[in-house]
Amino acid sequence: MTDHSSSPSETPACDGFTLWHLAQAGRDWLDQHHALVNQLNVFPVPDGDTGTNMLMTMRNAIREVEESGASEHVGQVAARIAHGAMMGSRGNSGTILSQLWQGFAHALKEHKTLTPELLARALREASDTAYRGVNKPVEGTILTVAREAAEAAEEALRDTQDMVEILRRTVLRAKDALARTPEMLPILQKAGVVDSGGSGLVYILEGMLLYLQGEAIQVKQATVAEARDLAETLAPEDELGYGYDVQFILKGENLDVNAIRAAIDSMGWSTLVVGNEQAIKVHVHVHDPGIPLSYGVSLGTLSDIVVENMQEQYQEYVRERASAPSPMPGAPPSLADIPAIELDEDDIAVVSVASGDGLARVFRQLGAAQLVMGGQTNNPSTQEILDAIQRAATRKVIVLPNNKNIILAAEQAARLATDQQVVVVPTRTMPQGISAMLPYDPKGDLDAVVKAMLQAKDRVVTGEITTATRSVELNGVKVTEGQIIGLIDGALAVAGDEISQVLRDVLERMCSGECELITLYYGNGIDEADARRVSEELSAAYPDQAFEVVYGGQAHYHYIVSAE
């Protein structure tokens, strides 16, 4: 449990330790409210992970300071926070948050103490850096909230040198800007929500203010549902999911073994939780070891902590699968069936994000040298993408994010790979990424290959069939939570009660009689027999188009449809 009640009520300046506590308070206040931020999703699709992405970014920022050590020098602490946020950033919201920290840290680079003047300057540079980091900044987003917060700090500085008062006015303006985001973005107004990223930033700033005011932030014990909400974006869907083996002994008073076992189990897999009211042994496999460790710390003290990277176990598993007997007829193929891509140092390597093991296999067959598992509700971090780039071991690398919420993190990773020439082809869907792979030539000229891939990605139309996560009316389509919905290139197009009918309605709008090849990538809740039956029905209805059925293995989406 974290208690910030011992912080000063007023201070004209703060050192590095205070800044670290401010960041912790921002993280803790966001932690209490990240589920609410997740609910502020415009579209009724399983993509409500803004709060989780921002929380994971903040947790990594704090962890960087914990591992490298805090100090009195505010510039050094800010730099560590910024680096941790950058490497752990997930999704567009997390990446923009990391850019805010980068700008903030740059303003404090040479300074030992954070004064009121420096606070205002740092907030301004944070906002400017985030705006520069987005190709086409849009008002009514987290950028607007950050900019108006900086403006409020500058205005307050003219009246007072009290850090608490400056931050109080900053938070008030940030809240006001957040409340006005629907006026700037009509789509927010139609959905009846404020901007989710801006909401997350308000909670972070508000947590900092609470700390400076000397108010306690009690990080409540996570419920089973909240633990699952935080962890579900990270749980592996197949053998490609990298993870960590986490073990520790939790000591405390009146520990509820059953509740803790349920919470830990929701965070990962291979769970073992045994003990009594005073001591509990925990073992779990997770993608982010910080989740169970932070949860444990909220309940008591930890000892005998073991965190092991399971990459070697994963590689051994793949080798065993490669030498195992062939799977039963009809079973989805394993990635281990396909030889690894061998490239020379001067070749062009492709790093591709894939949202399921079947889609990963498709990208590997098309020549992708490195794969990063991720997609909706499971945005990989900048660090994960950077690791894949560096594993490529070639001088030239092309990254395919294959999801609109992963593009910023991919671009950030590309900038960090200073020893390689890295280009991000901004594919927004899995079919766009697959289409972009078709002209890929590992021996070609990088500029020419990138140009061909950019052109190829736009030749495909993407349809997605999923289940609505909330009731809303958008684009003239009225949706009830639990209905089947269809999207075309990310826009809500149709809603209905049957998957097959919604799929047919989507195809009618996608094709207009012009497409030649339609590929159905089946995933969540759909088996091969279902997919082939639907394909046969559609073939009869569309005799001029060719249909292919491919196992995708993606979560949340029953079908991903590619029309070329």
Does residue 334 form part of some domain? yes
Residue 452 pLDDT greater than 70, yes or no: yes
In this predicted structure, what is the pLDDT of residue 237?
39
Closest CA relative to residue 156, chosen from 171, 143, 144: 171
Contact in structure between 398 and 350 (CB atoms under 8 Å):
yes
Res 249: pLDDT = 83
Q: Which two tokens stand for residue 399?
A: 């990254």
- Residue 242: pLDDT band (50, 70, 90) is very low
Tokens linked to 299: 């309940």
DSSP 8-state secondary structure symbol assigned to residue 336: G
Mean pLDDT of 277-286: 78
The mean-pLDDT minimum among 208-222, 317-331, 379-393, 418-432 falls in: 317-331
Give yes or no: residues 103 and 193 share one domain.
Answer: yes
Read off the pLDDT of each residue in 318-346 and give the average, rounded to a whole number.
55
The pLDDT assigned to 176 comes to 95
Same-domain pairing of 35 and 175: yes
Residue 270 has what pLDDT?
61
Q: 220 versus 69: which is more confidently predicted?
A: 69
Q: What is the pLDDT of residue 238?
A: 40
Residues 451 and 491 in one domain: no
> Based on the domain organization, do 475 and 433 belong to the same domain?
no
Same domain, 451 and 470: no
pLDDT tens digit string along 256-277?
A: 887 888 788 778 766 667 667 8
Distances from the Cα of 355 to the Cα of 257, 282, 430, 466, 551, angstroms: 34, 30, 8, 14, 12
Q: Does pLDDT of 178 surpass 60?
A: yes
Beta-carbon-side half-sphere exposure of residue 421 (alpha carbons within 13 Å): 10
pLDDT bucket at 335, cuts 50 / 70 / 90: low
Considering the domain boundaries, does residue 383 fall inside one? Answer: yes
In a domain, 550, yes or no: yes
Same domain as 28, residue 153:
yes
Q: Facing residues of 282 across strands?
A: 248, 273
Name the packing angle between helices 16-38 and 196-212 (round to 10°). Answer: 140
Q: Are both 341 and 367 inside the same structural domain?
A: yes
In terms of domains, do 474 and 556 share one? yes
Q: Give the chain's domain count.
A: 4
Residue 219 binned pLDDT confidence (cut-offs 50, 70, 90): low
**Long-range CB contacts for residues 149-157, cutoff 8 Å, separation at least 24:** 149/123, 149/173, 149/174, 149/177, 149/201, 149/205, 150/120, 150/123, 150/124, 150/126, 153/119, 153/120, 153/123, 153/124, 154/120, 154/124, 156/120, 157/116, 157/117, 157/120
What's the sign of the alpha-carbon dihedral 117, 118, 123, 128? positive
Query: Considering the chain, what percentage of its residues have pLDDT values greater than 90?
Result: 47
> How does pLDDT run across 437-451, given as a tens digit for each residue?
999 999 999 999 999
| CATH number for position 280 | 3.30.70
Q: Tell me: pLDDT of 360 over 50.
A: yes
Higher pLDDT, 244 or 290: 290
More confident residue, 237 or 384: 384
Shared domain check, 439 and 470: no
Is the same domain home to 490 and 435? no
51-60, 398-407, 512-521: the lowest-pLDDT one: 512-521
Please state, rounded to an integer, the average pLDDT across all residues of the chain.
84
361 pLDDT higher than 70: yes
For residues 505-514, average pLDDT: 80
Reply yes or no on whether the pLDDT at 391 is more than 70.
yes
Whether 1 maps to a domain, the answer reads: no
Average pLDDT over residues 368-382: 85
Q: What is the CATH number of the domain that holds 395?
A: 3.40.50.510
Residue 366, token pair as written in the block: 């098309």
Query: 242: closest CA among 281, 197, 202, 287?
Result: 287
Is residue 9 over pLDDT 50?
A: no
Strand order in the sheet with 269-275: 269-275, 279-286, 244-251, 301-309
* pLDDT: which is higher, 377 or 258: 258
Give the domain CATH number at 467: 3.30.1180
530-541 per-position pLDDT tens digit: 999 999 998 888
pLDDT of residue 39: 81
**C-alpha span between 180 and 148 (Å, rounded):** 11
Q: What is the distance between the alpha carbons of residues 260 and 187, in angstroms, rounded to a whole number? A: 40
C-alpha–C-alpha distance, residues 559 and 506, integer Å: 11
Both structure tokens of 262: 């349920």
Average pLDDT (176-201) is: 89
What pLDDT sits at residue 136? Answer: 84
**What pLDDT is attached to residue 393?**
85
pLDDT value of residue 259: 84
Residue 6 belongs to some domain of the structure: no
In this model, does residue 291 exceed pLDDT 90?
no
176 with 88, same domain: the answer is yes
Confidence of residue 240 (pLDDT cuts 50, 70, 90): very low
- Grade residue 145 by pLDDT with cuts at 50, 70 and 90: very high
- Average pLDDT on 232-255 reads 64
Domain boundary among 162, 191, 212: 212
pLDDT of residue 266: 77
How much is the pLDDT for 46? 58
- Beta-sheet pairing, 348-354 with 370-373: parallel
- Return the top range by mean pLDDT from 107-121, 190-204, 283-297: 107-121
DSSP letters, 125-137, are HHHHHHHHTSSS-
Is the model's pLDDT at 320 over the cut of 80?
no
Specify whether 36 is located in the same domain as 132. Answer: yes
Q: Domain of 273? A: 243-309
Distance CA 231, CA 225 (A): 10
Q: From CA 475, how far away is CA 104, in angstroms rounded? A: 39
Q: Is 427 domain-assigned?
A: yes
The stretch 214-232 carries a mean pLDDT of 57
- Confidence at residue 284, expressed as pLDDT on a 0 to 100 scale: 78
Indicate which CATH number applies to the domain containing 157: 1.25.40.340
42 compared with 353, residue with greater pLDDT: 353
